[in-house]
Amino acid sequence: MSDTACSVCNVPINLAERSYPITIGAGILHNPATYDALPKAGTAMVVSNTTVAPLYASQLIAALSGRFPNIHVVTLPDGESHKDWLTLQLIFDALLENACDRKTILFALGGGVVGDMTGFAAASYMRGVPFVQVPTTLLAQVDSSVGGKTAINHPLGKNMIGAFYQPQLVVCDLDVLKSLPPREISAGLAEIIKYGPIADMAFFDWIEAHVEPLRQGDTAALAQAVKRSCEIKALVVGQDERETGLRAILNFGHTFGHAIESGLGYGHWLHGEGVGCGMVMAAHLSHDMGLVDRAFVDRLTRLIQRAGLPITAPMLSKADNAGRYMDLMRMDKKSESGEIRFVLIDSPGKAVVQAAPDDKVRAVIDRCCA
């Protein structure tokens, strides 16, 4: 991977009539030209939350004001625990109270929680209105804003209710990452690291060499990481938009990670923290299944730790911890007839999705939890 930074780059998502660009650059959110290719509409609705709206909503509205005569804002409560029906309803309330028609464009201004909920609202309001992702967390820029997965959580399982629905445009402004707390930068690094073992070990080498500047918010390093992550995701989504096969590899670390998130109660561990620790657990399982050597498990674990992420999984039950993990993982969307399917590393840079014997999974949980 080269160290050349782009000023503004476009990574295309190629999905026939649902194709769109991911625009990446510093200071692009408030530039009206960023939105030039969007369809004309009388109304835009900016969906954000109580943390992000005060920081960036006025900049976005100023950039859109020459294009859309009416711009409304709906401000949601912040947090993963609000990614639910009740909060989703606030978007529909605002759309209907403002008599928004089916040409109204929704703008998701926030992290993955705002992006997933706005996308789901766009997919279902009047059976579908256009929307734009303006991701403001590192995690959302490298993963959740791209590829059209939208959802809310259910108390019994994460992202269980949603739709595949592609945005018209993704706007990744690197400047907005400057206000992100360090813990959120680390959470984003988890999804960036993920792309190495599943698809590109040269990228993994590069992350190892740049993890400190990435954690410190170095714009040139972040530009490279966001661009390469989006390129890899675009390649996968372009081949398997609705996750009939290949796309499942993007869930490396997520089967264990989602169990941690929902088992502890949404919002205790960040999504990226669950994914980081989940990748450690999935690497152990890959090793125990005879796929990768111990050196790879140690190398991945070291990088996850250097990224500021937890590498020891939490206990979810005093009585039967492994059983609790297994019950939660059976709810995973990749499960088939109650059989849990894991994203494992076949060899570094290549992932495989398969079931694993219960005793091996239990052994990994016992080893990784404290």
Distance from chain centroid for Cα 320: 30
- Contact window for ligand GLY (CB under 6 A) among 89-97, 141-149, 269-277, 358-366: 141-149
Would you call 333 a catalytic residue per the annotation? no
Q: How far apart are CA 161 and CA 150, in angstroms?
A: 8
Which CB sits closer to ligand GLY, 234 or 322?
234
Helix (H, G, I), strand (E, B) or coil at 127: helix
Would you call 254 a catalytic residue per the annotation? yes
Applying CB under 6 A, does 108 fall inside the site for ligand NAD? no
Which of 26, 34, 46, 112 is close enough to bind ligand NAD by CB under 6 A? 112
Q: Residues 194, 198, 199, 201: is their CA dihedral positive or negative?
A: positive
Strands 131-135 and 105-110: parallel
Nearest to 309 by CA among 338, 347, 353, 278: 278
Tell me if 89 sits within 8 A of 116, measured CB to CB. no
Would you call 127 a catalytic residue per the annotation? yes
Q: What would the x/- binding string for ligand GLY be over residues 89 to 128, using CB under 6 A?
A: ----------------------------------------
Helix (H) or strand (E) holding 350: strand 350-355
What DSSP string runs through 121-162? HHHHGGG---EEEEE-SHHIIIIITSS-EEEEEETTEEEEEE
Residues 236-265 that bind ligand GLY (CB under 6 A): 247, 250-251
Q: How far apart are CA 228 and CA 17, in angstroms?
A: 24
Residues 272-331 that bind ligand NAD (CB under 6 A): 272
Instruction: Read off φ and ψ for residue 194, nearest 5 degrees.
Output: -50, -40
Taking CB atoms, the residue at the shortest distance from ligand GLY is 250
Which CB sits closer to ligand GLY, 247 or 299?
247
251 binds, among ligand GLY, ligand NAD, none (CB under 5 to 8 A by kind): ligand GLY
Smallest separation (angstroms) from ligand NAD to the CB of 94: 18
247 binds, among ligand NAD, ligand GLY, none (CB under 5 to 8 A by kind): ligand GLY
Active site residues: 127, 149, 191, 233, 243, 247, 251, 254, 258, 271
